[in-house]
Chains A and B, each alone.
Chain A
Amino acid sequence: MSYRDLKYGRTADMLLRMDGIFLPIACVVSAGWIDPSLGMIVAVWLGAWWVNAWIASYDMSITRLAAPVLFGATLLVLWEMAVRLYNIPSVILPAPSAIAARMAASPDILWADLVQTVFKGALSGYLIGCGAAVLTAIAIDRSPFLQRGLLPVGNFVAALPIVGVAPIMVMWFNFGWESKAAVVVIMIFFPMLVNTVEGLKATEAMQRDLMKTYSAGYWQTLFKLRLPAAMPFIFNGLKITTTLALIGAIVAEFFGSPVLGMGFRISTSIGLLELELVWAEIVVAAVVGSMFYGGVALLERMVTFWHPSQRG
């Protein structure tokens, strides 16, 4: 065995034995050797990951919360570091601090856009669409023939790129929020319909027989048994469609809108190279989207408290 073999053999051995500490340090050193800034970024990443791995080895409610929060914070820090250390121009990627500053500086613009897009466009479309879908489901409830026809068509339509109707709706209902609401209605109608029809089938023969022994009529059975039993399915649809509603309202604004609205602001701010404002709108959209979903999920907990998935 030559000296060289010995030397490299030992290095490899050391690498294997000390990989717990050695490998991360080696990564940092080699990255720092290529570029000092990259070394710092890698060091922060590995340090945060090490802390996270340590946190994750305990299973408590606090660690369940801390791990994702720490991960998100790490990403933000890395983003900020990358932008500052490499002097990335803000027209390509603004730093999180710049985005936060922009959000603090122009809350009135963000609020006006939020009202226009979410409260007027998405929410009204969401209510109309969900209401229409549930009523349609109840209307075709008595006709198995229509159900067998509508369900495959509904499933098919749910997979189509319906956002494409946006230009048509803008043409019909003009630039205001009405056209956005119309896009949202069309987008969410079929997913909601399919879920509701499924839900109305969710009762067991035994339960329906019980209602019959009480000599309950169709409507009594519907309101006292079948609609409550359908609630988990209906809420599943309601949750899926929250995201669709926001997407529909924002994308429809790309095809024409009055001079406010989140989609409008995003598309025009890109043209003006105000990327901070674009990111601020995206942050608002993300927060509102999560809150919308969270609100429906909370409502679901209250309405379907009896369902096994909520009691677990």
Chain B
Amino acid sequence: MRNLGPILTVVAAIVVIWYAGAVGLNAAWSKDQAARAGVELSFGEMVSQTLSQDRPKLPAPHQVAVELWQSTWVEETQGRRGLVRSGSLSNRSLVYHGWLTLSATLLGFAIGTGAGVLLAVGIVYNRAMDMSVMPWAIASQTIPILAIAPMIIVVLNSIGISGLLPKAIISAYLSFFPVVVGMVKGLRSPDAMQLDLLRTYSASGGQAFWKLRLPASMPYFFASLKVAIAASLVGAIVGELPVQQGGLGARLLAGSYYGQTAQIWAALFAAAALAAVLVGIVGVIQRRTLTRMGMAR
């Protein structure tokens, strides 16, 4: 909590800059309107107008907050298609779209992490696999994988697979490589001394894996999980761009088509909140697990 003061200061500075930017970017439109109506704007009037436009270039923070509130709580409790009136989540609310994105993210994350751990075990125990697959796993981190996302979506869509799975595949693909690289490092982290000790106990290969290598890899595992879950979310959002079937990515694109800037920002903040919560949950599990294992720093 020592950092709370500085953090709040920085956040406050960002909000102030944001308001200033909103006034600056939206001023042109307000002046234009005033000139057409033939009125002279005082500075105060101009500021208040720039912060309350319908389709501002940059919505002010409070406008985004209002939009977030409207498209979650208000839409679900009072909207015609909301949860209270219709019994199901409204397709105009961020809760619904956020859930679509979240489910694809989690499914992809689970697949990618599972496959990544399996491949890492294979790489650590099989020399041929290590020498032939590992360079590609490392090289693939330098490749903009996300560029393939729309193609996977459209191709899978054309052969009849749509909905959750294509997005989850992209998420899985993005979260796969960080886990592989991290886990290989982790499974190799026990040093020769520790491995020798197990040999003096005449431990079998399986025992060495379960009792030494796997526990030793946990710090690396969680570090790569944090990267992987953030990457999964980005993958799911980008996966929603080409085929408009809901989700935060679809909201972003729809907002940009119709010039609904507040909607874009609200979707962006919902995505940010989702990312923060997901990374936070992984962080909590990490701290708990490592503390119980006596590995917390």
User: Which residues of A approach B to under 8 Å, CB–CB?
Assistant: 49, 52-53, 55-57, 63-64, 67-68, 70-72, 91-93, 145-150, 152-153, 156, 159-161, 163-168, 170-172, 242-243, 246-247, 250-251, 254-256, 262-263, 266-267, 270, 275, 278, 281-282, 285-286, 289-290, 292-294
From residue A228, how far is it (CB to closest CB) to chain B in Å? Answer: 26
Residue contact A159 to B279, C-beta cutoff 8 Å: yes
Which single member of A68, A165, A263, A275 contacts B132 (CB below 8 Å)? A68
| Chain B residues closer than 8 Å to A56, beta-carbon distance | 127-128, 130-132
Which single member of A70, A152, A161 contacts B234 (CB below 8 Å)? A161
From residue B177, how far is it (CB to closest CB) to chain A in Å? Answer: 11
| Chain A residues closer than 8 Å to B279, beta-carbon distance | 159
| Chain B residues closer than 8 Å to A67, beta-carbon distance | 128, 131-132
Query: Is B167 in the interface zone, CB < 8 Å from A?
Result: no
What number of A-B contacts does a CB cutoff of 8 Å give?
Answer: 169
- Centre residue among A146, A149, A152, A275 by max chain B CB count within 10 A: A149
A122 (CB) vs chain B CBs: closest residue: B144
B11 (CB) vs chain A CBs: closest residue: A153
A253 (CB) vs chain B CBs: closest residue: B147
Instruction: State which residues 219-275 of B face A: CB under 8 Å.
Output: 226, 230, 233-234, 237-238, 241-242, 248-249, 252-253, 255-256, 259, 261, 264-265, 267-268, 271-272, 275
Q: How far is the CA of A250 from the CA of B146 in the complex (A)?
A: 8
From residue A218, how far is it (CB to closest CB) to chain B in Å? Answer: 22
Q: How far is the CA of A198 from the CA of B25 in the complex (A)?
A: 34
CB within 8 Å for A150 and B10 given contacts A52-B132, A290-B143 = yes
From residue B262, how far is it (CB to closest CB) to chain A in Å? Answer: 11
User: Which residues of B approach A to under 8 Å, CB–CB?
Assistant: 2-3, 5-11, 14, 25, 57-58, 127-128, 130-136, 139, 141-144, 146-148, 150-151, 154-155, 158-159, 226, 230, 233-234, 237-238, 241-242, 248-249, 252-253, 255-256, 259, 261, 264-265, 267-268, 271-272, 275-276, 279
Q: How far is the CA of A146 from the CA of B10 in the complex (A)?
A: 7
Instruction: Enumerate the 7 nearest inter-chain pairs by beta-carbon distance, A residue then B residue, closest first.
Output: A149-B6, A167-B256, A71-B132, A149-B10, A293-B142, A67-B131, A56-B128
| Chain A residues closer than 8 Å to B150, beta-carbon distance | 254, 266-267, 270
Which single member of B142, B151, B158, B276 contacts A160 (CB below 8 Å)? B276
From residue B277, how far is it (CB to closest CB) to chain A in Å? Answer: 11
| Chain A residues closer than 8 Å to B143, beta-carbon distance | 243, 285-286, 289-290
CB within 8 Å for A160 and B255 given contacts A153-B7, A266-B147, A282-B148 = no
From residue A110, how far is it (CB to closest CB) to chain B in Å? Answer: 14
Residue contact B127 to A57, C-beta cutoff 8 Å: yes
Query: Can you list 10 pairs linking A and B with CB atoms under 8 Å apart?
Result: A64-B131, A68-B132, A153-B11, A160-B272, A164-B264, A168-B261, A168-B264, A171-B57, A243-B144, A275-B151
Which single member of B159, B234, B271 contacts A92 (CB below 8 Å)? B159
From residue A161, how far is it (CB to closest CB) to chain B in Å? Answer: 5
| Chain B residues closer than 8 Å to A148, beta-carbon distance | 2-3, 6-7
From residue A173, how far is it (CB to closest CB) to chain B in Å? Answer: 11
B159 (CB) vs chain A CBs: closest residue: A92
From residue A148, how far is it (CB to closest CB) to chain B in Å? Answer: 4
Q: How far is the CA of A255 from the CA of B241 in the complex (A)?
A: 9
| Chain B residues closer than 8 Å to A166, beta-carbon distance | 252
| Chain A residues closer than 8 Å to B230, beta-carbon distance | 159-161
Residue contact A68 to B147, C-beta cutoff 8 Å: no
- Centre residue among A57, A164, A263, A289 by max chain B CB count within 10 A: A164
Residue contact B3 to A247, C-beta cutoff 8 Å: no
Q: How far is the CA of A293 from the CA of B133 in the complex (A)?
A: 19
Residue contact A153 to B10, C-beta cutoff 8 Å: yes
Q: How far is the CA of A293 from the CA of B57 in the complex (A)?
A: 35
Which single member of B7, B134, B135 contacts A149 (CB below 8 Å)? B7
B278 (CB) vs chain A CBs: closest residue: A159
B59 (CB) vs chain A CBs: closest residue: A168
Q: How far is the CA of A256 from the CA of B252 in the complex (A)?
A: 13
| Chain A residues closer than 8 Å to B253, beta-carbon distance | 167, 255
CB within 8 Å for A156 and B238 given contacts A150-B10, A243-B142, A290-B139 = no
Residue contact A165 to B268, C-beta cutoff 8 Å: yes
- Centre residue among B57, B130, B147 by max chain A CB count within 10 A: B147
From residue A223, how far is it (CB to closest CB) to chain B in Å? Answer: 27
| Chain A residues closer than 8 Å to B272, beta-carbon distance | 160-161
Residue contact B146 to A164, C-beta cutoff 8 Å: no
Q: How far is the CA of A18 from the CA of B244 in the complex (A)?
A: 55
Q: How far is the CA of A110 from the CA of B241 in the complex (A)?
A: 23
Which single member of B136, B255, B261 contacts A68 (CB below 8 Å)? B136
Residue contact A170 to B142, C-beta cutoff 8 Å: no
| Chain B residues closer than 8 Å to A281, beta-carbon distance | 147
| Chain A residues closer than 8 Å to B57, beta-carbon distance | 171-172
Residue contact A161 to B147, C-beta cutoff 8 Å: no
Residue contact A270 to B261, C-beta cutoff 8 Å: no
From residue A209, how far is it (CB to closest CB) to chain B in Å? Answer: 26
Q: How far is the CA of A68 from the CA of B159 in the complex (A)?
A: 32
Residue contact A52 to B128, C-beta cutoff 8 Å: yes
Which single member of B7, B11, B146 contacts A251 (CB below 8 Å)? B146
| Chain A residues closer than 8 Å to B276, beta-carbon distance | 156, 159-160
Residue contact A145 to B9, C-beta cutoff 8 Å: yes
From residue B249, how far is it (CB to closest CB) to chain A in Å? Answer: 8
CB within 8 Å for A149 and B255 given contacts A56-B128, A160-B271 = no
Q: How far is the CA of A242 from the CA of B142 in the complex (A)?
A: 7
B272 (CB) vs chain A CBs: closest residue: A160
From residue A266, how far is it (CB to closest CB) to chain B in Å? Answer: 6
